[in-house]
Amino acid sequence: MNELDRRRFGRQICLAEVGERGQNELCRAEVTVAASAHADVERAYLAAAGVRVAVGATSPGVTAEEVARVLDALSLETEEARVLAEGALRALTALRAILDVG
């Protein structure tokens, strides 16, 4: 990892769950994101973490049932808030899988 990457991802590297080894894994990873309402949010989170993003027919990871359960628990009032929350949830689920964090 070069000095520019260390500065770019410095906050993530400081996290015990990530560290430099984890950040290297994130930078080597590629995640497929399905075209959907939440895709822009999901892509933005993943790209900011250093993950390459491909567009595909389906996104692996979180199930529709889990998304519904989490969004219902959050009691979000607008569709825009639900879209943002779903994109973030899907991105964080992918990041956890890459880092093998339970």
More confident residue, 61 or 92: 92
**Sequence-separated contacts (24+) of 53-61 with Cβ below 8 Å:** 54/30, 56/32, 58/32, 58/34, 59/31, 59/32, 59/33, 59/34, 59/90, 59/94, 60/31, 60/32, 60/94, 61/90, 61/93, 61/94, 61/97
The model's pTM is 0.84
Q: What percent of the chain has pLDDT over 90?
A: 63
Give the pLDDT confidence score for residue 24 in this predicted structure: 95
- Asked if pLDDT for residue 87 goes beyond 90, the answer is yes
Give the domain ranges of the chain.
3-99
**Contacts of residue 81, Cβ cutoff 8 Å, sequence gap at least 6:** none
Over residues 1-14, the mean pLDDT reads 92
- Asked if pLDDT for residue 28 goes beyond 70, the answer is yes
